[in-house]
Amino acid sequence: MTRLRRAAPLLVAIFLLGLAAVFALLATDVRAWQGRLRSDDVRFTASHPVHGLWGSPAILPGDPASLLLGLSDPLAYRHALQLFWVSQIGGSHHSAQNISELRVTTEDDLQALANHARTGAERSRAAVLLGVMTITTPTADNATQVQTLNRAVQYFTQAVEADPTNYTAKIDLELTLRLERPAKVRFGPDSRGGVGTGGSHGAGVVGGGY
């Protein structure tokens, strides 16, 4: 018992040094995440379908820094946005079947964000991208065009309701509502020029304010 008492100050000192080291590494991981998001956002803006973006730079096991920063939804949105661009634009190494499968995956990811993301802004941006994917999907006949138009309106309306300050969502909703004669409108790749992508030209900054 006497030995334990004598050793107690040393044990406390070791514990405090270990705790200080953990906090130092945590601060390092936070700064690393901030730098990684900024640099990879720039890379994505310059070349949308870039692989290997926004990977964890954390030193500590379990990456507690990402939890501290609340990066779950922002990272999910960034990866869904990347899939969105690849699914819309494609590439020489993507077959028609791969693009079709990628679109399904992208829609699933964006739908999850539109319904369950942490903030209204995140839900709104995801809903806008769903609306864009919907309205740029080729349609076979007038009846399908009407359904496509209505579905896009629902997504853009959801985006406005989730974040009334999302100006892009309001413009996209207004443009879609103006398509009063869907029989004379062809939805395809050219439609992208008239419908925004909800901030897709830049993923943004740390912690959900991107």
Average pLDDT over the chain, rounded to whole? 80
pLDDT at 101 over 50: yes
Q: How far apart are CA 123 and CA 116, in angstroms?
A: 7
pLDDT at 63 over 90: yes
- Structure confidence at residue 196 as a pLDDT band (50, 70, 90): low
Q: How far apart are CA 138 and CA 206, in angstroms?
A: 36
Please give the average per-residue pLDDT across 64-80, as a whole number: 92
pLDDT at 71 over 70: yes
pTM listed for this prediction: 0.72
- Structure confidence at residue 93 as a pLDDT band (50, 70, 90): low
DSSP secondary structure string for all residues of 90-116: --TT--HHHHHHHHHHHHHHHHHHHHH
Residue 132 sits in which domain range?
A: 2-208
- In total, how many domains does the chain have? 1
